[in-house]
């Protein structure tokens, strides 16, 4: 769908899809300058589950964030094609209401305090189905991310491979050391900046991987 469509067009599409589809496998907003109000209106009307939600869009043309409500989606991918400073299409408070399994954000402007709130939210039961979260960010201070959070810093001699899938494709990440946090039900997640992206501005992939519980 074109993210620069009018509110009326988005309303009409959502109404039509409500009448036609019990479930959507792929919902993609592609190209175009984003009209946040239009996309927000689409998700206000849409009442069908989505398996894979993708935003691959040009920098926003207005100042409002996108509000998708309490999303119930398997996989979410968000990428912005721009030479300007990256933007945050969604804030952490929104993400904490989502019920998704894998969430991958390309370059954005989350900071340590944002990630601290995301981690605390997961520990307190938000995003309970989450398996993998990643975002491409500036170098981070993990002392701030882990403020008021119980954690175990793992030695860099420890290498762990994390495997999941994204849509129909396998997804793997290698964690060397990292910081382990544990939810009250015993579920363990590891936090780390793991992959450096080439270019004049140093950017790294922050990753949070939730390990499957042993039977």
Residue with tokens 């001699």: 157
pLDDT of residue 64: 66
**In this predicted model, what pLDDT tens digit does every residue of 2-41 receive, in sequence order?**
888 888 998 898 888 888 877 788 889 887 778 888 888 9
95 vs 1: CA distance, rounded Å: 22
**52 within some domain:** yes
Which domain covers residue 98, as residue numbers?
Answer: 7-211
Residue 1 — pLDDT band, cuts 50, 70, 90?
confident
- Looking at residue 207, what is its pLDDT? 97
Number of domains in the chain: 1
Do 36 and 68 touch, CB atoms closer than 8 A?
no
pLDDT in the model for residue 189: 98
Residue 2 domain-assigned (yes or no): no
Can you spell out the DSSP letters for 22-43?
A: S-EEEEEEEEEE--HHHHHHHH
Domain assignment of residue 165, yes or no: yes
State the pLDDT confidence band at 125, using cuts at 50, 70 and 90.
very high
Taking only the tens place, the pLDDT of each residue in 31-68 is 777 888 888 899 898 888 888 999 888 766 555 678 88
Nearest to 90 by CA among 101, 102, 81, 77: 77
The answer to whether residues 148 and 169 touch, using CB atoms and an 8 Å cutoff, is no
Residue 1 domain-assigned?
Answer: no
């Amino acid at each position: 769908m074109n993210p620069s469509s009018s509110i009326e067009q988005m309303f009409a599409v959502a109404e039509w899809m409500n009448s036609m589809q019990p479930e959507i496998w792929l919902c993609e907003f592609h190209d175009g300058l984003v009209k946040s109000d239009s996309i927000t209106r689409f998700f206000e009307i849409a009442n069908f589950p989505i398996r894979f939600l993708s935003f691959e869009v040009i920098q926003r043309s207005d100042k409002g964030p996108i509000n998708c409500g309490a999303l119930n989606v398997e996989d979410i991918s968000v990428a912005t094609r721009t030479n300007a400073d990256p933007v945050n299409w969604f804030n952490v408070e929104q993400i904490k209401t989502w019920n998704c399994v894998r969430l991958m954000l390309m370059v954005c402007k989350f900071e340590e305090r944002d990630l601290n709130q995301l981690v605390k939210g997961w520990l307190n039961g938000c995003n309970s189905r989450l398996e993998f979260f990643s975002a491409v960010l500036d170098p981070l201070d993990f002392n701030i991310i882990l403020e008021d959070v119980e954690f175990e810093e793992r030695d860099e001699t420890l290498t762990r491979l994390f495997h999941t899938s994204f849509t129909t494709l396998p997804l793997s990440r290698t964690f060397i050391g990292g910081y382990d946090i544990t939810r009250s039900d015993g579920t363990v997640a590891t936090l780390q900046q793991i992959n450096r992206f080439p270019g004049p501005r140093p950017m790294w992939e922050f990753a949070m991987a939730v390990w499957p519980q042993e039977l």
